[in-house]
Each structure stands twice: as C-alpha cells, then as structure tokens.
Chain A
Amino acid sequence: MPHLDFPAWIRVTHWINLLFITFLIRSGMEILATHPKLYWNDDCAGGTEWARFTRKTMPEDKLYDTLDQEEDYSSIISMPGHKNLGMGRHWHFISVIGWILCGLVYVVLLFFTGEWHRFVPYSWSIFPTAWEDIVTYMSFNLPELLPGEPYDAVQKLAYGSVVFILAPFQILTGAAQSPAIEARFPWYVKLWGGRQWARSLHFFGLVAFVLFIIVHVTMIAIWGWGQLTSLMIFGEVGNEAWATVISFAIIAGIVLVHIAATQYTLKYPRKVQRGLGAVVQGTRKLLLSPLTSRQDYSKSEITPKHGVNGKPPDADFYKIMAVHDFVDWRLEVGGLVDNPMTFTLEDFRTFPTQQMQRTLHNCIQGWTSIGEWTGIPLRQIVDLVRPLPEARFICFLTMQDNGRDEPSAEGAGQFYEVIPIEMARHPQTLLAYEMNGGPLPIRHGAPLRLRLETQVGFKMAKWIERIEFIDDHAEIGEGMGGWREDNVFYDRDVGI
C-alpha cells in the first residue's frame, strides 16, 4: 500500500467542499420551506405527510392553495431565508455544480494517486475491528489507527461511506426530483419509490450530512484539533498553534462568505438571478433540455385530489364565461406567425388530433400529483399558425391577475409564461381542456391550460386567453420570461 498522507489536493478540496456543502444545506432548507411537508406517496394528500416543519394550519372554511403553506425560515438556517424559493434554488443548483465538480476532481485524484486506500476496506475484518473501536469510544478512550493508515476502522468506514455512498445518494435522489428526468425516465423515479420517496430520502441525506459534520468536528476536537487541522492545512503535523488559528480563520471566512452572499442576495435578487442563472441555465440546457416526456401512468395511479396552486381569476368576465361553460371564450394565437388563428373551446373538442396522457405533475414547491390530461398537442397549433423564422419563444397570456386574484403572491399583474419554441414540439406538450375524464376544472385552469411535462408546474399556464409567438421576452414584464421569473426570481427553464 502506498504511503497515505495529505497532499495539497486533498486539503484544498476538503475546504472547498466545506463551503459548497454548507451552501447546499442552507439552500436546501430554503427549498424545503416552500412546502415544509414530507410524504411517502406521490399524491401528497393533505394530512398524510410523515413530517411537517411548519406551525401553519390551513383554514377549513375557505379556499387555500399550497402557496399559503409556504414557510418563512430564518436566514440562519436557510439561504437566503424569508420565502425566497427562487433565490434558494439558484444557490442550490450552483452549489450542486460546484460540489460535483470538486467531488469529481477529488475522486479522480483519489484513484489516480492511490490515496483511495484510505477509504476502501480490504477485508470484512474491518467490521469487527470497527465494532471494537466503537466499544473503545464508548469507554471514552481512543482506538488504535489501522496499521499504516491515517484512520481507525470506524473513521475509515465513515469517511468511505460519506464519499462513496452518501454523496452519490444525494446526487441520485436529487436527480430523481427533476421533472425532466422523471418525465423521460419514469422508471427511474419509480425505482426510488416515487418522487416523494426521493424527496424524503434526500431529506434523510441532508440530516446524515449534518450529523456527520457534527460528529466529524467533535472527533477532530477530541483527537487533537491542532494536530489534525495541521494535517489538513500543512499536510503534516507541524505548528499546531498556527494550524488552529488558520483553521478558525478558514471557518470564519466561510461564515463571512455565507453572510455576504445572503445579504447580497436579499438586497440584489435580480443580479443574483441573472448571474447564477447564467451558469445554471447553461448546464440545464446541456443536460436536461434534450429530454422529452414519455410518461404513461396507469388510471389507478391518478391522484384523487390533484394539488392546486394559484387562485382562479376573480373577475366578472371570467365568472360569466364559466357559468356559460366558456362558450364565449376565444383563444387568439398570433404574434410572429404566418397564419394567426382564433379558436373556441368547441374547436378544440372537435379537433381531429386529440391526445390523452397521464403524467406526474411536479410543483416547484416539491409536492406532486398524477393527473390525466386530454387536449391538443401544441405542435399541432404550431403547424397550423406557421411561426416565422424569427419566432424563438411562445408566450402564454392568462386571465389571472395576481394583484386581484392571489393574496399570497409577491407582486401583481397579468400572469404569463414564456417557453422556448422547441418545447412546443415535445410529444407530451399539450393544451389541455379536460382533466381526469371530465371538463378541466376552474381551479385547474379552465377552459384551457398548458401541460409541459418536463418542467415544474408554474410553467404550465392556466386560464389561458392568448398565445403569442415572439422573438424575445426582454420587453415583456421584467424581461425574465414569466410572471414568477419577474416577481419571485424563478428560473425560466425549469427541468429541475
């Protein structure tokens, strides 16, 4: 076995990893805060959660939606805190990218240099040895290190488990929560027991990492802070006093980075959205945009009470249309097209090509429901109206005005969403007018809503009144590609 020591790359990646993992934990808590309930079933039926991290209880005598359930966590435990899911997601995904890159460098070098021997056991005898070490720890003594190795048996197993089991586990359960991955590979999310199992397991992984950090730091202190930080800073047991000072300085530095990032994010959310979004969007485009939905859940898997987000238009014109079963509703499709058209609901119901699909709906908040949607493939509409070459996006304008209709919303104005025109050609991108075998309910977007199965739910505009083909969305609203993107700083393309 090669001599196992602490080369520079181990030391550097250790401290970089600490920075990323702490950002992942805090931003993960922000994501949890938006729907602070964990389930074992993909129906997410109210009252069936196995854990909740909120003091809020919902009223029994009036309509509420999942936006009302969002929690406001302190910036101490969540990044940036205070109901900022959009920002939390940006920090989470940029940290995922950084953490995985750091981890890849670490693992490649581990095997390239032979340092992997420090984590990978050679025989089953490590388990009885580890048991003896635990008994020794319980007698408040320190066990012997393994011969020629820098760790005792328990440490070797613990570190090896974190690097080769827990870290990949978090990546895999995280990926299982991507609508794009779930849609293209439904078997993958079912492998984990469903989306909510993946979410709950991902939460367990968070707890495991937090516990590991607590135990790790405690053990460092017990074994000898100066000595061990000297190894992780200088690569050898040298000046313990300086190692102690530098280690605390590094930790203080990381804390300061957290504080600065949090303050900056709360003060300049748009800049953070653009800055971090540029990197994250590029990665999404590379890895997730090519994926198309191929879902086909069974009828028995349909959620009895599909989750709801957003309140329907509280306007007389809408209510009058609803009373008359939307016979007066017209959908105008125009903008940069050769052949602008207007449709009625009856036109859609009698369209020659109709499609039915049963798919898993992923709200950005984390809850899910399975529904059956019937409608017209959007690509059919695209073929009919013939977009001009400069048309790059499709803008869905709705009848919802958040200032009027959504008391919980962080902003006002007409709700709209923009999608890249390529998504219109995905096989399960649908303009749905029926749900679960009946007319689309008002709370789910009647008379027409979008189904965009590789994206999170907020992109699937409800209560549509107009579709515009555009070349750029910079001049619409705040220019970020949708109402939620404008007002709560979500990302435009949300395959994860």
Chain B
Amino acid sequence: MNTLLRISGIDKLVSFYRFIYFNGPGFVKFSGIGLILVIGLTHMYVFPEHFEAKRYIGLSFAALFAGTLLSALWMLKGLRWGWILGSILCGVAIVGYVVSRTWGLPGLPGAIGRWDEPAGTFAVASELFFIFLYFSIVTGMNVAAPDRRDWHD
C-alpha cells in the first residue's frame, strides 16, 4: 500500500498523513465491530420494504447482514479477515447503492435518481468510514487489537 502511494505520487500530496499515529488498539477494534454491525442493522432496518419491492434485493440485504455478523465475529476473535470481509461488504454495498441510483438494478427502475434516502445516505457514510478505518490500519495510522504499538521512546 505504501509503495502504491509512493509510486503514484499521492504520498507527497498527503504527506501530513505520515505524521499521524494513534495507539488505541482496543478502541479501534471495537469501533470497527460497532461500525460493521451498524451497517448490517441499517440494511435490516430497510429489509422489509426492499424485500417487498424486489425479493433478490431483500435477500442480498439479509446476506449482507449475515456477512457483517461474520465480519464482527472474526474481528472480535482478532482475525484480520474480519476487516477484509467487512471492507469487501462495504465496497459491494456502496457499488450496489450507486448502481441502483444511476444505471438502475433489474426490476427497480424507481430507485434511479433516489439519492434522498436517509438510511441509504447513513449506510454509505458508515461504509466509507469503515473502509477508511481499515485503510488507516493497513497504512499504519491506526492499530487494531490484538496488534500492539511497538513504541519504545
């Protein structure tokens, strides 16, 4: 990741990023768990109406919810795959939301242009934040339990 940032030149633009480090492994871990569960629950909150509109959409929400539960469990156990799964689920959810509002999804033409769904806005914001949180772990800004900082000075 760091190599990618360096080659692309982005690292110079955001060099201030390299000055910021946090040491709250427990806080980060439980923030990630809380966030992914909130994302899953948000989708379940709107599950009934979406299941009624188009079954496959509802079922995909349910699948996403199940995925967030698994992600949370893996994170709780201290497995990095929890974060990876969570990020993938968030990415898919964001793409799905954008596609549904732009090109449209099969059988859901009414969703095109409907950016004014508060639950949708909230979910996308949470998903982006989760992805950023994992990005911050991968790039070293944050550390998630069971990992610890190795600061000696």
Interface residues of A (CB under 8 A from B): 36, 46-55, 57-58, 60, 64, 69, 71, 77, 135-136, 138-141
Contact = CB atoms under 8 A, between A and B. Distances in A.
B149 A139 contact: no
B152 A60 contact: yes
Given A52-B21, A53-B19, A55-B18, A140 B121 contact: yes
Contact of A51 (B18, B23, B116, B153): B23
Q: Is the interface of A mostly helix, strand, loop or mixed?
A: loop
A394 to B, nearest CB: 36
A50 B24 CA distance: 6
A492 B21 CA distance: 34
A49 B151 contact: yes
B19 A138 contact: no
Contacts of B56: none
B132 interface: no
A81 to B, nearest CB: 13
Interface of B: 16, 18-24, 115-118, 121-122, 149, 151-153
A90 B47 CA distance: 58
B19 A55 contact: yes
Given A138-B118, A140-B121, A46 B23 contact: no
Contacts of B20: 51, 53
Most interface-central of B115, B116, B118 (chain A CB within 10 A): B118
Nearest to A52: B21
Contact of B116 (A36, A55, A141): A141
A140 to B, nearest CB: 5
Given A138-B121, A140-B121, A52 B116 contact: no
A120 B153 CA distance: 47
B23 A50 contact: yes
The 10 closest A-B pairs by CB, nearest first: A58-B153, A138-B118, A47-B151, A139-B116, A138-B121, A46-B153, A135-B118, A139-B118, A52-B21, A53-B19
Contacts of A60: 152-153
B115 A46 contact: no
A139 B21 contact: no
A54 B116 contact: no
A186 B18 CA distance: 37
Contact of B153 (A55, A57, A136): A57
Contacts of B23: 49-52
A54 B153 contact: no
Given A47-B149, A47-B152, A54 B19 contact: yes
A57 B153 CA distance: 7
Nearest to A71: B19
Contacts of A51: 20-23
B22 A46 contact: no
